[in-house]
Amino acid sequence: MANSHPARPMSPSLSRPRGAFMARARAGLRALWGEPALVLGLLLIGLLAQGLNMFNYPASTLVDDQGIYASQAWAVLREGRLSPYTYIYDHAPGGWILIAGWMWLTGGPGAYGDAIDSGRMLMLLLHLAMVPLLYHLARKLGAGMPLAALCAFLFSVSPLAVFYQRLLLLDTIMLFWVLLSLDLLLNGWGRLSRIVLSGACFGLALLSKEAAFFLLPGMLFIAVEDRRRHQGRFAVVSWVLPMVMVASAYPLYALLKGELFPSGTTASFSGSGYAGSNVSLLDALIWQVTRGGGGPFNLNNAFWELLRTDWLRRDAFLLVGGALAVFMNLVRGVRDRRALAAGLLGALPLLYLARGGVVFNYYILFAIPFLCLNLAVLLAPVFARIPARASGVLGVALAVMVISGYWYSGAFQPLYQERPDQAGREALTWIKEQVPSESLIIAPDSLWTDLRESSRGPAFPNVHSHWKVAADPDIRTGVFNDDWRTVDYLIMTPGLEDSFISSNNTVAREAKQNAQLLKRWEAAPGDGRLHQRQVIELWKVNKPGQLELTRLADSAGYTSRRFERDGAFVSPDGTVTSESQSYAMLRAVWSDDRAGFDRAWQWTRTHLIDRDGLPAWLWRDGAVTDPNTASDADVDIALALLFAGQRWDDPALLDAGKRMLPAIWRRDVAVVRGVPYLTAGDWGEPSSTIALNPSYFSPHAYPIFQAVDPDHNWTGLVDSSYQVLFAASSATFGRERSAGLPPDWVGLDRTTGALTPLPFDRADTTRYGYDAARTYWRVALHLRWNDDGRARAYLTTAGFLQNEVDREGRVRAVYQRDGTPTTTDSSLVGTAGALAALLTLNPATANVLYTGQLAAAAQPANPGVYWGHPDDLYAQAWGWFATAMYADALPNLWIRR
């Protein structure tokens, strides 16, 4: 019917060009805002949903398989092997070969942070590739644009899908090849080349993970269903043949290696390891098929347990709705072959999960895209009856409802806000900075690759997967000698100790029983049912090892760089003491540092040594400010000189040490009632009470002095030292009871030889504090060098310190005479003294103290390490001495070895 109001005629010269331009513009807009724009929008949604916070959540330690595949990709990339250990055919290698190729293209395992992060980036790209594939599959199976978009949208935003698709798993790689194969197969009706390519892609899916085999009936159904309409029976052959040819690479590889058939030796698999001298593909397949996990109708099997405790809690809508859609499509399939195809593709993964046997939580990945697809195919007839614009509005409304449901259920919050993987990053950084790279470490697979990889810090060539320690004879026996004592460290994650038991990992289990917690990292979750808590712990086996040797070198280096000025060890207040110089000389000679020793001795001889051959106690601002002696420093310097002369065969140093001994006896030793006692120094005024400091007593040095200076009764000094130590430690000094600890100071009556409190002004001299703690260290040296029973007996009186460590894991810096602490602080010298005593009294408690207060407390200084406050010279000295005592690195150098 003619328009009653015709449009006004256009100018003859412009009407046709303008009409053609507008037609082209409208066509371009339709193309722009049609399916390409829709798919582009779906890709953007997928990028945001999967990519935001993906490096932090889920934690990399959640699924050990992530680390296994990263390590195997690392082996392909770095070693040209399918596995860093014996390849046991537990999975076909196509998936991690792809991961290795990705790492090679992007610059290595550490290109995106750590190795698992690199793999997660690949998982994101594969997800983005699957979004249009799933959209196209839904369209080809009868869904309109809104429903196909809703299918791909749900695949991207489902909390269940986001959680598991972020993980570095072979399942995602396998699904990509499956969806690509399906897309080509459905596209290929009538196109033989696409059918061939589809079969090859399905073969790659089988090479990525064997679970793809369970989809084979569905794929064959699609190929057979259309054989008459298009290529006849040749279509099926054209799909099956390339699939078999590609998948046969796996058994062909095993055949060429002589590892296809069992060798006659019974195969015994355990966890992810192989207990036996031979491997075989057929043995591995039999093991995979026969792994236990409960029958399909057992409501306590792994499938039903995971369904209740994990999958439904993450996304009940997708699981319940998708399963119902699968059932309905199978029913509709009697009349609708496309619905039947979708139903089969959805039912087969569900049957695989519910079959019984071993099912892990991430196996749900196999079903997710097909549940989404079935929802779209089920609703397709309904949407077909709705006008196009209304169906689009309905599709958007359904998407909003889905998002709202996820939002209000709290399922999104952990995915995008929590950072449980932060603990793993901090642990990796600390281990690379603090733990010697030569250490023999048992670790979870999630950290294996980053510890082996050298691109981000030192490599640890002796770190091994706990599974391989349990089941690979080359590792369990060849590396660890079936002996927990060979282990230096264990890196523990939640559930790992249970794995030690289930895999009969006696080496790891016994090492853990004989280890102490060195460091702990924890990423605490928020409140909620889906939140994760990541805990990583580093346990040090109870034995000295490379860590202690490294710490000694690093601590000595830090102390020299921070405090030494041309041989003088200067405190922050500008003072130099004979004590600090004696510590430096002992540290240098025990460390075999001749240059450092010479600098310290040269400065001491030039600035502190008086005409009698003994050092003044205090120097400041270019001059001696206190010329008196401190007998502990005098003894230590003399001992250091004798050791140095012996170690480096230097007569001048030997002579210097020998010359000091008569002067020490003359000025630092008092004889009371015929018994020699080491006094605190020559600084006290003559009085009826002699000042003694028990921590100055050095019974370890006196036997050496006796051999060098037989003219004086140094052996008697050993006797008097123990006499005073036992008496002073048990003395009540009035009404105050004793906790059995030595006092900082004690007085000796010059007439009677009785012990009395020393009346220093403003000081409680009977307390156990920064002086007294050194007593145990010196006595422990005497026990080690001379095996003197008095030394052992005295160290066993330190039960109070053992109780303190058992109760608190540490000792306080200062205690009153009765054991009441006067401070909440600890001190390095207090720790050194307690450690020296407990190494004899109770080594297990000593290990607790050492690991918690010394090994874990060392701070990196770049370079070197320090303890306590970085400006505390005294703390650095006693941190070194305590570590050396634990490491048994304080030999008697007077005895040539």
- pLDDT tens per residue across span 322-334: 999 999 999 998 8
Question: What's the confidence (pLDDT) of residue 271?
Answer: 44
Distance CA 833, CA 777 (A): 5
User: Quick one: angle between helices 170-187 and 192-208, nearest 10?
Assistant: 170
Per-residue pLDDT of 831-871, as tens digits, reads: 999 999 999 999 999 999 999 999 999 998 888 999 999 99
**pLDDT for 6 beyond 60:** no
CA angle 514, 517, 519 (to 5 degrees): 150
Per the listing, tokens 């139903």 go with 343
Which residue out of 90, 421, 579, 709 is catalytically annotated?
579
Distance CA 376, CA 135 (A): 10
Q: What is the DSSP letter of 534?
A: E
Q: Of 239-243, 373-377, 530-534, which range is least confident?
A: 530-534
The band of 792, judged by pLDDT with boundaries at 50, 70 and 90, is very high
Annotation says 579 is catalytic = yes
Q: Closest Cα partner for 519 from 858, 891, 81? A: 858
Q: Which parts of 450-596 are beta strand (E)? A: 463-465, 489-492, 515-523, 534-541, 564-565, 568-569, 575-577
What b-and-e string marks burial along 723-758, b requiring 16 or more CB atoms within 10 Å of the CB?
A: ebbeebbebebeeeebbebbbbbbbbeeeebebebb
Beta carbons within 10 angstroms of residue 407's beta carbon: 11
The band of 476, judged by pLDDT with boundaries at 50, 70 and 90, is very high
Do 552 and 896 meet the contact criterion of CB atoms below 8 Å apart? Answer: no
Strand-pair partners of 441: 463, 489
Segment (H or E) for 407 = helix 388-409
Averaged over 56-64, what is the pLDDT?
A: 88
Per-residue pLDDT of 116-160, as tens digits, reads: 999 999 999 999 999 999 999 999 999 999 999 999 999 999 999
Per the listing, tokens 């005295």 go with 794
Per-residue pLDDT of 715-768, as tens digits, reads: 999 999 999 999 999 988 766 688 999 999 999 999 999 999 887 766 678 899
Question: What's the confidence (pLDDT) of residue 395?
Answer: 86
SS3 (DSSP) at 855? helix
Per-residue 3-state assignment (H helix, E strand, C coil) for 626-642: ECCCCHHHHHHHHHHHH
**pLDDT for 810 beyond 90:** yes
Question: What's the confidence (pLDDT) of residue 225?
Answer: 79
Question: What's the confidence (pLDDT) of residue 388?
Answer: 80
Averaged over 761-785, what is the pLDDT?
A: 91
Which residue out of 117, 315, 418, 632 is catalytically annotated?
632
The band of 4, judged by pLDDT with boundaries at 50, 70 and 90, is very low
- Cα dihedral: 650, 656, 658, 664 (round 10): -150
Averaged over 514-520, what is the pLDDT?
A: 93
Averaged over 578-599, what is the pLDDT?
A: 98
Question: What's the confidence (pLDDT) of residue 233?
Answer: 65
The band of 231, judged by pLDDT with boundaries at 50, 70 and 90, is low
Do 873 and 829 meet the contact criterion of CB atoms below 8 Å apart? Answer: no
The chain-wide mean pLDDT, for the chain, equals 89
- Residue 123, classified by CB atoms within 10 Å of its CB into exposed (0-12), middle (13-18) or buried (19+), is buried
Per-residue pLDDT of 399-441, as tens digits, reads: 899 999 888 888 898 899 888 888 999 999 999 988 999 999 9
Beta carbons within 10 angstroms of residue 385's beta carbon: 7
